[in-house]
Amino acid sequence: MPNANVFRGSDASLVLAVDDVESVEGQFAESLIENYEFSNVVGRLQNVQVRVENELRPYHELGKRFATELRPGNINVSGVVERAHINGALIRLLLGDGATSPPPTGTIAQPSFNIVINLSNPAIPDNTNTLTVFGVKFESWSFSLPEDDFVMESATFKALRISAEEVGG
């Protein structure tokens, strides 16, 4: 039976992990994740959004106003994370070595990592959902400095794929 429980944002924990520690991108991400202690729980996050878009292309036969077939196209995984803290971790995950020193000539390896979101209702701890976003790379970073609110940094990302797992029910 599928898990039919509802969750709140406060029921979630988010960690960053690396699958491919053999690649340059994976090694770089692994060192940053360990340095900033993101392998346990990434703190102070809010407004985490993950989007999956499936490009559908309708086929219209000559003389028909309605599509006769929908063909699947590319699948794109993307999202946004916001954090009430600025310590350089997210910008380093975006810029790689270019965040701390002048970039060398040629290409700079950009860290690639996974985002793991664990959802668990404290009233029913045996029922959990885990959402894993694979091959994440940050696309943009920004921060806001409001007059009467918290300073927030924000990063958008793109990913290779996503999986969801339910335990209990």
What confidence tier does 21 reach under pLDDT thresholds 50, 70, 90? confident
What are the structural domains of the chain? 6-166 (2.30.110)
Write out the chain in H/E/C secondary structure. Answer: CCCCCCCCHHHEEEEEECCCCCCHHHHHHHHHHHHCCCCCCCCCEEEEEEEEEEEEEEECCCCCCCCCEEEEEEEEEEEEEEECCCCCHHHHHHHHHHHCCCCCCCCCCCCCEEEEEEEECCCCCCCEEEEEEEEEEEEEEEEECCCCCCCEEEEEEEECEEEEEEECC
In the predicted structure, residue 106 carries a pLDDT above the cut 70: no
pLDDT at residue number 23: 85
pLDDT at residue number 99: 78
76, 52 in Cβ contact below 8 A?
yes
Give the model confidence (pLDDT) of 26-61 as tens digits: 888 888 888 888 877 887 778 899 999 999 999 999
Give the model confidence (pLDDT) of 124-137 as tens digits: 888 888 999 999 99
What is the rounded average pLDDT of the residues 77-85? Answer: 90
pLDDT at residue number 36: 82
What is the rounded average pLDDT of the residues 86-112? Answer: 78
